[in-house]
Amino acid sequence: MYKENTMALKVVKFGGSSLADAEHFKQVASIIKADKDRRYVVPSAPGKRFSGDEKVTDMLYACYNAVRAGENIDELYGKICDRYNSIIEGLGLDFDISGELNYVKNTILGGHSGRDYAASRGEYLNGLILAKYLGFDFIDAENVIYFKDDGTFDAELTRQELSSELDRHEYAVIPGFYGIMPNGTIKTFSRGGSDITGSIVAGAADATLYENWTDVSGFMTADPRIVTDPVSIRTVTYHELRELSYMGATVLHDESIFPVRAASIPINIKNTNDPAAPGTMIVETTTDYDKDRIITGIAGKCGFSVITIEAERMNTTIGFSRRVLEVLEDFNINVEHIPTGIDTMGVVVRTEELEGCREKLFNSLNRAVKPNMLTIEDGLALIAVVGRGMVNAKGTAARVFDAVSSADINIRMIDQGSSELNIILGVDEDHYKDTIRAIYNEFYGK
């Protein structure tokens, strides 16, 4: 699985639940120390210790909002301090973090540092503690992870600076989730973004393996919160993983594929609470798949809307789709899917993107293409059925549709990717979970 002729070097990322309290820190340290090739460690902020608990990142966002609303944050920030202090205490560490905690609090109170600064401190503070506990160097992500003026990640500059910095440290902790803008302000990736940092560090270190440690034994065929005890997947291709994670399998951030894919570095998803379990390997290609099961995974998300446009002779009107898409571009709305019929065109977008511009968008579309009918309907859930085995297996789509209609669920939209790697279904949000269960039972039921 590793690249040949190179020394093994592993980058390991630990998620929030893996670093939620002192006991987990101890477990993480024993995993890291068990393999001297685990040289660069990317931590998240402390996550939930039990169901109903709060993630430190969420508490930091809440502090930022409270300051903006002119509210007092003493109690809330006090809870954040308690989380870090109890980790330090539980580890028996001789480390005074109070100066850092005060500095962060005052900076958030100052009100000029921004929302991302506040959120990023979860990883920063956890990184300081973890580095101290492991006896590793601490590399602040603000000195090695760069964004461009437009807010996109600066891969080139980061690779250059990060590689040369890593060369100076045999073992180091680099906090996940954030980096720096050209104007010196802190910027974070989107939620779950420590996975991306891990991947960037693996790319820059030219690692042989990127281990992503979480609270489940790998990537599962379906969300374990929806299907009871789903099968864990041994091998997934980058391509399948991207489809699944983009469509809601949040175990790994969908953008974490890019930095490692370019260098063919495999990702291994592992369980901090069960380190012996093999987890899931994510690789460029594999010819191996389970011929009886065909599909690799099912994932889904709620919160979509469909814009349906009907116009006579749409399919022979040159430039019709372009005009529709131009309007959406003017409104800065991302298009997720475009299921089309002969005289109808559907455009699926995330409902939140329509916020505040629904009526204007409606009017602009009416003006641009003068349709016979135009509707915007909310409440759509999208479900992706993904599998490299689908290319060779006839009748997979029929099995998916049969399973869903046998469960008495109406399919509102169908889109099959031209790569034949996926089938996307749109159903009412009320049927989101039942649809996933019906498809899972069809392919994985006993």
Which parts of this chain interact with ligand ADP (CB under 6 A)?
15-18, 44, 47, 192, 214-216, 219-220, 222-225, 249-251
Distance CA 220, CA 197 (A): 23
Q: Please report how close the Cβ of residue 370 comes to ligand ADP at its closest, in angstroms.
A: 43
Torsion of CA 29, 57, 304, 297, to 10 degrees: 10
Distance CA 188, CA 253 (A): 13
d(CA 268, CA 265): 10
Q: Does 192 bind ligand ASP (CB under 6 A)?
A: yes
Contact pick of 177, 219, 320, 443 for ligand ASP (by CB under 6 A): 177
C-alpha distances in angstroms, 197 versus 38, 110, 132, 193, 204?
A: 16, 28, 20, 7, 10
CB of 150 to ligand ASP, least distance (A): 22
How far is the first Cα of the chain from the last one, in angstroms, to the nearest whole number? 32
Of 130, 70, 122, the residue nearest 101 (C-alpha): 122
218 binds Mg ion (CB under 5 A): no
CB of 251 to Mg ion, least distance (A): 7
The reply to whether 148 sits near ligand ASP by the rule CB under 6 A is no
The pair of three-digit structure tokens given for residue 50, joined into one six-digit string = 């039990």
Query: Is 257 or 354 the residue whose CB approaches Mg ion more closely?
Result: 257
Shortest reach from residue 70's CB to ligand ADP, in Å: 32
Q: Which is nearer to ligand ADP, 258 or 331 (CB)?
A: 258
Cβ neighbours for 150, distance < 8 A, ≥ 6 positions apart: none
3-state secondary structure of 401: helix
Please report whether residue 422 would count as binding ligand ASP according to CB under 6 A.
Answer: no
Tell me the two tokens of residue 303. Answer: 């919160």
To ligand ASP, the closest distance from the beta carbon of 417 in angstroms equals 28
Among residues 158 and 256, whose Cβ is nearest to ligand ADP?
Answer: 256
- Residue 122 binding target from ligand ASP, ligand ADP, Mg ion, none, CB below 5 to 8 Å by type: ligand ASP
CB-wise, 144 or 216, nearer to ligand ADP?
216
Closest residue to Mg ion, judged by C-beta, is 192
Contact 9, 39 (CB under 8 A): yes
Task: Please report the beta strands in 141-208, taking only residues with DSSP state E, as ranges in sequence order.
Answer: 172-173, 178-180, 186-188
Q: Where in 2-41 is the site for ligand ASP (CB under 6 A)? A: 15-16
Q: Which of residues 58-97 bind ligand ASP (CB under 6 A)?
A: none
What is the nearest approach in angstroms of ligand ASP to the Cβ of residue 52?
Answer: 16
* 289 touches ligand ASP by CB under 6 A: no
Using CB distances below 5 to 8 A depending on partner kind, what does residue 176 bind out of Mg ion, ligand ADP, ligand ASP, none? ligand ASP
Q: Provide the minimum distance between the beta carbon of 416 and ligand ADP in the complex, in angstroms, as a whole number.
A: 21
| Phi, psi (degrees; rounded to nearest 5) at 356 | 80, -5
DSSP 286: -
Contacting residues for 243 by C-beta, under 8 A, at least 6 apart: 299, 384, 386, 417, 421, 422
**Interface of this chain with Mg ion, residues 4 to 23, rule: CB under 5 A:** 15
Q: Per CB under 6 A, which region of 193-201, 220-228, 275-283, 284-292 contacts ligand ASP?
A: 193-201
Nearest distance from C-beta of residue 48 to Mg ion, angstroms: 12
Of 176, 192, 203, 266, which one interacts with Mg ion (CB under 5 A)? 192
Q: Rule CB under 6 A: say whether 159 interacts with ligand ASP.
A: no
Is the CB of 72 or the CB of 190 nearer to ligand ASP?
A: 190
Q: Please tell me the distance from the alpha carbon of residue 202 to that of residue 114, in angstroms, as a whole number.
A: 28
Edge-to-edge order in the sheet of strand 172-173: 137-138, 172-173, 38-43, 10-14, 209-214, 267-271, 280-283, 235-237
Query: Which range in 137-145, 185-193, 228-236, 322-330 contacts ligand ASP by CB under 6 A?
Result: 185-193
Binding of residue 45 to ligand ASP (CB under 6 A): yes
DSSP 407-435: TT----EEEE-TTSSEEEEEEEGGGHHHH
- Tally Cβ neighbours within 10 Å of residue 98: 10
Q: Closest by alpha carbon to 396, among 293, 316, 274, 320?
A: 293
Which CB sits closer to ligand ADP, 47 or 387?
47
- The listed partner (Mg ion, ligand ADP, ligand ASP, none) that binds 389, CB under 5 to 8 Å by sort, is none
Q: Given the rule CB under 6 A, which residues bind ligand ASP?
A: 15-16, 44-45, 55, 57, 122, 176-177, 191-195
Residues in the site for Mg ion, rule: CB under 5 A? Answer: 15, 192
